[in-house]
Each structure stands twice: as structure tokens, then as C-alpha cells.
Chain A
Amino acid sequence: MTHVKNELVDLAGWPDLDETQLVSVLPSYAKARALIWSSVTLTSGLAFAVPLAAIEMWGDTHVPGALWLIVGGLWLVSTGWWALEEWRGWPLRGYLVRDRDVVYRRGWWSRTTTAVPFARIQHSEIQQGPLGRWLGYCTLKLYTAGASGANLEIPGLSVATAKNIRQMLEDLNHD
């Protein structure tokens, strides 16, 4: 059995991640998220309200008030929570490209900061859907080996920025 001491490893001197330097993603992506929130809120509200209203108006039975309250309350709480998450989470959303890694932070209630070293990126992908093409943003997807959930997606980048990051990755791989 190896005898070990319990001394501290000197952590000073390692480059630390300064989260205040994070760069915000494009404001057009905020519009896209707002659009998605509005359409899902409206659709889900209608999906619950229309059948209940139809039963109330044309059905044989009366919809209990408690059911309206429960369904409406759940809808209000979930969409309200989502709105709060988007509104308060937006200023915290950001990315940082350093010499050797890329960092992305998201979330208001539960904040997650992910750092992926460039040396571990297997391939990358730039994705732009119809909404992205209309509002002028794209998503950069960075894939690592395996499938332990280490892949990183950075949405809300301009196409030029995404291409620059990808070019940087290619240059580093060729060095």
C-alpha cells in the first residue's frame, strides 16, 4: 500500500477562467427565442383551452371550475417560469474562445459552464435553420469523441464568427 501525505496541490499559476470576459451571442437569437416562446405558449394554451371550451359549449357535461384552474395554473406557471428563465438568463448566456479551448455558459436558474479543449474536438458543424437564415444567426456544433455528453452547441453566432472559429480549429489541427 502506498503511503501518501495529504498536502495541497498548488493551484496558483494555472490559467483561470474569467467568466466576466464572456462574449454575448447575437441579439437576433434573443428574438428567435422570444418567437419560439410566444408560439409554444400560444399553441399549448390553445391546445388546452379549445377542447375544454368546446366541451363547455357543445358538450353534454359541464367542465368543473377546478379543472380550468389546475390546467390554467399549470400552463401559467410553466410558461411563466420559462419566460423568467429566458429573460434573466439572456444576459448570462455567452461564449469565450481562448487559445486552447472554447467555453460556453447558459442558464439562469441552473447555470452551466462547459469548457471543451480544441485538441479534443473531432469535427464541427455549422447549422442554420429557416429561423436562423431569416434572423441571421447560426449554431456551431463541436463534437468530441464518445458520447458522454461532451458535445458543445453554441447557438446565436453570426455565420462569420462560426466560420472563424472553425477555421481556427482547422489551423490548430494542422499545426
Chain B
Amino acid sequence: MTDNGVGLATPRRQHIVGLLVLLGWQSQHILRAAWPILIAAYLQQENDAKYFLWALSLGGLATLLGAVLHFWRFTFSVSQGKFHVHKGIFVREKINIPLERVQAVHIEQNLVQRLFGVSGVRVDTAGSSGSELRIHALKWDEAQSLRSLLTADLSERADLPKDQRHGAKTDVIAEAETKNSPQRRAITDLDFRTLLCVGLSQNHLSKVAFAIGGLVTFQGFAWEILTELWTRVPGIWRSILLFLSPLILIVSPVIIAMTSVMISLISSILRHWKLQLWVEGSKAKRTSAVHLTQGMLNRQSMQIPIHKVQYVTWESTWIRRLFSMDTVHIRQAAAGGAVQGNGGGTVEGGSVMRMGIPAMNSKRTRQLELLLFPSWPQRSLITIRPEKYSFWVRWFRRSLALLPVAVGFGWWLGVIWGLVLGAFLWTWSGWLSLKIYRGQWATTDGRHLSTHQGWWFRKRIMIDWHKLQAVEMTQNRIQAHRDVAHLTFHTSSGVAHLRFLSTDLAKDLRDLAMAQVHANRGPWM
């Protein structure tokens, strides 16, 4: 077997630190799965905890043994255009993944891995099961070489003898990865000020629960300290403090709000520390990829080949729009169990490969748009808007949902007050429905689709019809009578909806989208 230049042609094990990381990883999985049992066992135990400790020790020993055996039996190599993995303790598995099936290779470093100077590698394929392979510890340069080998495009190196392809490509990628390479085009280098803005523009409401939880958890401890301090306070100050005590009612929400903002700031700094986003590689050779590195404690290095991008979203809230910074999620083909969720730069639900990029202003957005969808707009755009009927339906549904509130209020305080509140809610729901109706629109150039939705939380989804998996048209009896229909475009990473279109337009768009799928002769994943 010919060596590929970095010693990955022959089967090899991961770095010995991998054993430690694997142990931590397995323990974490076991604890996540069995924490209710462990708590129940702890609470049910007799006075002396020997049985519980025995069970815990046995569990720990089994985990250690499992980790050692897994480490020992796990070998990998790259040769003959395939990524070979041999693993399994009782059932021996030999996995051969053709390199063109590799969707993405991500390099991660948690705190332990950083201490020992190694990194974890995660290889994703778009299969329906077992899509993810994880190597827990490789030296940084070895991890980079492995990623280069796995993500290099074989077809472009057909001019080279077969046994030389890997080594040659490694050199090409290694050269491109140097910062001075002309192929590398930076999109974002997040400075500390922008990072603070990212933290401030987060959804703080989601952190309120954490803040309240934290305050409740530590209230007993804090109460003890306060009681202790109270005994030392002089009498005159006690009177002053008692007089000022109602202020606590005002101060508490401020403390909770400040804690929420602090949590947002800290989590943003930890997640997006030294974020760098750049594009490198050759478009012609299909080696062009979006690269992202970020993280303070857990350092991540992700890359998604541009031709494998399936679905891109831009999300913004009112605060983010103030700072002019959207969050972009770039998704590639997902294996079984795709989910919709929040968060960035991680695998969600075990299978959706999603790169989350904060702080995208209009200039960076246009830059990214041109990179991910180079032919957009391929020709003149048409704007698609839902039928006015959608506004009336939304208003009617909201009014109906709020009717019990007005009726209840009227029952409680009298008919007049019920009517006043009813009129207010009815007007408010109408105003809200109008805002949502106006925020819902889409544009297409006949090949791509860009949908916009939302008012307070705005979301834009962009897809390429060449990469569609299926098109669905839905219409209920009332909608058929009103001559409107919904369209759903399924990609391998998510769906885009066009709701309340006129039936004829929906049928035309469905046929056009299907025709675009059929017209695509190139690879789509």
C-alpha cells in the first residue's frame, strides 16, 4: 500500500489521549442516559451506601474496560479513495466510506484535548444511519492532514497516477491553508467589540429561566450569609435597611435582567471567541469550502464544501437588526433524524450539519450569498406574495383564540369592560396579522428560492431548486374554494414553505421546481 504522505495509508490507532477523552465521553453518555436511575438508587439506599458504591464502581470499571477495548479495536486509514474504519468489541465492523460520500469533516478541541495538544475529528456522511464517525484524539497537524485527505476532490486529480493522488492533494490543501495563500478569502474576523455586540444582541429572554434557576438554587446559601451579616449590622442601619426593603421588589427584576445579559455575554464570548470565517479552494476544481474556527474552551474548526450546501437561513430579532447583525446558518445534507433547533457551529440532534455564523451585516451577507449561490440571481427576479386571504385567516384565528380572554374578563368585571378588552385584542390581533402578512414574501429567479417570514423574529431561507428532494402541494376544502394552496419544498436539510399562493401560481411553481431538478445533471450532494 502506498503511503499518502502523512502516514494515514496504513491502519493506525488514534493518539493515546483518545482513551482519556473516550472515557469522559462515554461517562457523559452513561450519566445522561442513566441519571434518573442513579438519583433513585442514591435516594433509596440504606444507611451505609456500600451497595450503591459497589454498583457505581462496577459501572465505572465496565466503562473503563469498554473504553480501553474500543480504543484498542478502533483503527482507521485512508487509501484507494476510501476512508476505512475498523471497530467493534464483540461485533467487528469494517466500514469503507468512498471519499465522495464524505459530507464534512470537523475538528474540535475541548479543554482536555487542548491541554494535551490533540484534537477530535468528526466525519459525517449523508447516510440514513450511522452517519457519524468520531476520532477522539489526533495531533493537530495529523487531524488537519486527515481532513485534507477526506475532503479533497478525487475527480479533479485524474491527471495524476492513482497511487499519487492523496499525497499530491494533501500538499495542495496544506498550501491553501496557510494564511497568506491567495486562495484564502476572509469574510469575518470577529473582534472583541463585535463579539460584545453579538452577546448583547442575543435572545436574553431564553436566559431568564437560567437566571431565575440560579437565584433559586443559591437562595438558601445567600440567605445564610445575609442572616450572618444582618447580626453584625448596627441598629440605626437596620432601621434604614428595613425602610428601604420594598426596593428589593424593584431591584430583583433588574438583577435577573442583568444576570440574563451576563449569561448571554459570557456564552457568546465562550462560543464565538476568535471567530474566523473564510473561503478557500478552487471553484473550478470544486474544492472551494467555507471554513469556520471559533471557541474559547471548546475550539471548533468546521468546513462545508460550497457545492454541498443545501439550505441557508438568515435569522434576526429586533435587537440584532438594531446592531445590524443577522445570524446565518449554513446546512448541508442531513442524515436521518434532522431537527429544527437553535445553536451554532454544532451538530443538532446528532445529524444536521449546521454552521452558525453570527454578526452578518448586509455587506458580509451579500458576500456570502455570492459565494454560496454564485448564479443568484440567474435572471430577473419575480416576487411572490401570499394572497390577502392569509391575512384574514390569521386575524380570524387569533381573534377566535383571544375571544375566551375577553369573555372571561367581561364575566369578571362586567360587559362593558369585556367589550373594551375584546375590541383592544381584536385590533391588536389585526395589526399583528397585518405585520406578519406583510413580512411574508419570496423571490425566485427560476432556479433559486429566497423566502422571507416573520415580523419581530425575521427569517430568510434560501435554497437551490436543483437540489430539491421533493415538492408538496397542500390544499384543504376551504382553501380550494378560495383558490389558494400551500407549497412545501423539501431539501435534504430542511423545508421551505410558500403559503397561501393562488392555486395556479402554486401549480406553476411546483412544475418549474420539478423541471429544475430534472434539468440538473451535476452532483447535488
- B474's contact among A1, A7, A111, A123, by CB below 8 Å, is which? A111
A14 to B515, CA, bound (A): 6
Verify B517–A117 contact, CB threshold 8 A.
yes
- B381's contact among A6, A113, A119, by CB below 8 Å, is which? A6
- Which interface residue of A7, A116, A144, A147 has the most chain B CB atoms within 10 A? A147
A7 to B381, CA, bound (A): 6
Verify A11–B512 contact, CB threshold 8 A.
yes
Q: Answer yes or no: A150 CB below 8 A from chain B CBs.
A: yes
Verify A152–B476 contact, CB threshold 8 A.
no
- A6's contact among B382, B446, B472, B511, by CB below 8 Å, is which? B382
A152 neighbours in B (Cβ, 8 Å): 470
How far is the CB of B488 from the nearest CB of chain A, in Å?
8
Contact with B along A139-157 (1 / 0, CB 8 A): 0000111111110100000
- Which interface residue of A5, A14, A114 has the most chain B CB atoms within 10 A? A14
How far is the CB of B508 from the nearest CB of chain A, in Å?
5
Number of A-B contacts (CB under 8 A): 130
Verify A148–B491 contact, CB threshold 8 A.
yes
Q: Answer yes or no: B379 CB below 8 A from chain A CBs.
A: yes
Verify A150–B382 contact, CB threshold 8 A.
no
Surface stretch bound by A, among B274-282, B297-305, B333-341: B333-341
- B383's contact among A6, A11, A113, by CB below 8 Å, is which? A6
Contact with A along B483-525 (1 / 0, CB 8 A): 0000000111111000000000001101110110110100011
- A119's contact among B445, B515, B518, by CB below 8 Å, is which? B518
Within 8 A of B (CB), among A16-72: 16-17
A145 to B335, CA, bound (A): 7
Q: Answer yes or no: B380 CB below 8 A from chain A CBs.
A: yes
A5 to B380, CA, bound (A): 6
A4 to B491, CA, bound (A): 26
Verify A114–B333 contact, CB threshold 8 A.
no
Verify B382–A7 contact, CB threshold 8 A.
yes
Q: Answer yes or no: B439 CB below 8 A from chain A CBs.
A: no
Q: Answer yes or no: A9 CB below 8 A from chain B CBs.
A: yes
A113 to B507, CA, bound (A): 10
B444 neighbours in A (Cβ, 8 Å): 9
With contacts A115-B470, A145-B525, A146-B333 taken as known, whether A101 is within 8 angstroms of B514 at the C-beta atoms is yes
A17 to B485, CA, bound (A): 15
Majority secondary structure of chain A interface residues (helix, strand, loop or mixed): loop
Verify A113–B515 contact, CB threshold 8 A.
no
Q: Answer yes or no: B477 CB below 8 A from chain A CBs.
A: yes
How far is the CB of B465 from the nearest CB of chain A, in Å?
11
Verify A146–B518 contact, CB threshold 8 A.
no
Q: Answer yes or no: A174 CB below 8 A from chain B CBs.
A: no
With contacts A2-B377, A144-B490, A147-B336 taken as known, whether A17 is within 8 angstroms of B507 at the C-beta atoms is yes
Within 8 A of B (CB), among A120-174: 120, 122-123, 143-150, 152
With contacts A146-B491, A148-B490 taken as known, whether A111 is within 8 angstroms of B475 at the C-beta atoms is yes
Verify B512–A148 contact, CB threshold 8 A.
no
Verify B472–A114 contact, CB threshold 8 A.
yes
Verify B474–A119 contact, CB threshold 8 A.
no
Q: Kindly report which residue of chain A lies nearest to residue B362, judged by CB atoms.
A: A1
Verify B126–A145 contact, CB threshold 8 A.
yes
Q: Answer yes or no: B9 CB below 8 A from chain A CBs.
A: no
How far is the CB of A165 from the nearest CB of chain B, in Å?
16
A9 to B338, CA, bound (A): 33
Q: Answer yes or no: B2 CB below 8 A from chain A CBs.
A: no
Contact with A along B167-193 (1 / 0, CB 8 A): 000000000000000000000000000
A122 to B469, CA, bound (A): 10
Verify A148–B377 contact, CB threshold 8 A.
no
Beyond contacts A15-B511, A112-B473, A150-B490: 17 other A-B pairs, Cβ-Cβ < 8 A, are A6-B383, A9-B512, A14-B515, A17-B514, A101-B517, A108-B477, A109-B476, A109-B477, A116-B469, A117-B470, A119-B517, A145-B126, A145-B469, A146-B334, A148-B469, A150-B492, A152-B470
* Chain B contact residues, CB within 8 Å of chain A: 126, 128, 310, 333-338, 351, 366, 377, 379-383, 444-446, 468-477, 480, 490-495, 507-508, 510-512, 514-515, 517-518, 520, 524-525
